Amino acid sequence: MNIDIKVPDLGESISDVEVGEWFREVGERVEKDDPLVEIESEKATVEVPAPATGTVGSIIKSTGKPAKIGEVIGTLIVEEGVQAEPVTAESAQPVDAAPPAAQPSAPSPPSKAEAPRVMPAAQRMMEQHHVAAEKVQPTGPGQRVLKEDVARVLDQPVAPTSPPQQSGEGMGRTERVERMTLLRRTTAKRLVQAQHESAILTTFNEIDMHRVKSVRAELGKAFEAKYGVRLGFMSFFVRASCESLRDFPQINAYIQDDTIVFHDYCDVGVAIGGGKGLVVPILRNADQLSFAEIEKRIADFAKRANDSTLGVDELQGGTFTISNGGVYGSMLSTPIINPPQSGILGLHAIKDRAVVVGGEIVVRPVMYVALSYDHRIVDGREAVSFLKGIKERIEHPARLLLEV
């Protein structure tokens, strides 16, 4: 009996997807609930599990092909009488998510049949970068080697097993072509959209970080011991941004046709570099979160962004965005707003600089900050004052506690 493998419903706003990597080829057997194929949307990538135990009968939509929600992308051959369960958004797992928990049993050593199996995308990456198979630790279900496993090896200094023959020194003259992921293409499209449809302007300021650094040095260990998470700089900026957004609601609003929609809440997006590219998970009601809650959620976002296991709903919405290029060493940038939002705060590296304090030259840790805003809805006075409000709150952390 043949059953259809369909694209599951991934959310109200998602209709078009792209077929990612197939984990089984035609004629290969798959167990029920084992990951069968990746589906990439503009928000995230999920794994579609096999609805029943059987054999892959056909692959109608191969890797890289576009598809619609509910469209048949393959078939599964199952035995007569086997009951197949429909695949839903709840049963589809984020990429690299652990398989469903099995009943407890005594562990047994892997058999010869469980030898690592290299997925096609991983094989191509290994060949391109000359990575030996034995150097890659498989993490996929059924001892499968995923491209993410190869990427982890490439983050380490690995000597090529068979380097290409080159004349002289240098990088050589080879080229390679890699298809952009749907997530990357969607990000590019939205950035261009923002440039074309918004009147983007950026204003800058500098922040003396010495008081915040002193707070972290004095209370950081006690904070981590109590809450189980490190006290970072981001929680200070999230809280400061929420307070400034209350003072200047235009920056927490957006244009809809010929009206302005104001948000009476702060859903702050935090830009994070993940395994599939830049993602912006949302801190819902960030204005109501404590420092510890903010730090815990950001740490969780960062971990799951790296594993590509963020849910689609966690990446939707947002009223304001914070992007921290400083973690990569950026000194100054002009961030692009995430439409339809009207503002984005860019953070940068903290560097010791000579500044004048009370008529004397002293050395202070300074961060340059940037606010890009939509000039159609936000005037320069509001933008400059908003950024000044963040500066004053960060330079006097007690203001954040007293909400003044």
At 198-244, the pLDDT tens digits run 999 999 999 999 999 999 999 999 999 999 999 999 999 999 999 99
Domains 1-95 and 185-402 share a fold: no
Burial of 122 (C-beta count, 10 Å sphere; 0-12/13-18/19+)? buried
Q: 101 pLDDT exceeds 70?
A: no
State yes or no: is 374 an active-site residue.
Answer: no
What is the mean pLDDT of the segment spanning 252-272? 95
Confidence band of 94 (pLDDT split at 50, 70, 90):
low
pLDDT tens for each residue of 298-353: 999 998 888 778 888 898 889 999 999 998 899 999 999 998 999 999 999 999 99
CATH superfamily of 185-402: Chloramphenicol acetyltransferase-like domain (3.30.559.10)
State yes or no: is 129 an active-site residue.
Answer: no
What is the mean pLDDT of the segment spanning 148-171? 60
Question: Which tokens sit at 387?
Answer: 């950024």
Of the listed 9, 16, 263, 375, which one is catalytic?
Answer: 375
**CATH architecture of the domain covering 1-95:** Beta Barrel (2.40)
Instruction: Indicate the pairing of strand 360-374 with strand 350-357.
Output: antiparallel
Q: Where are the domains of the chain?
A: 1-95, 185-402
Q: How far apart are CA 37 and CA 55, in angstroms?
A: 14
Of the listed 9, 16, 379, 396, which one is catalytic?
Answer: 379
Q: Mind giving me the DSSP string for 295-318?
A: HHHHHHHHHHHHTT---GGGGS--
The one-letter amino acid code at 118 reads: V
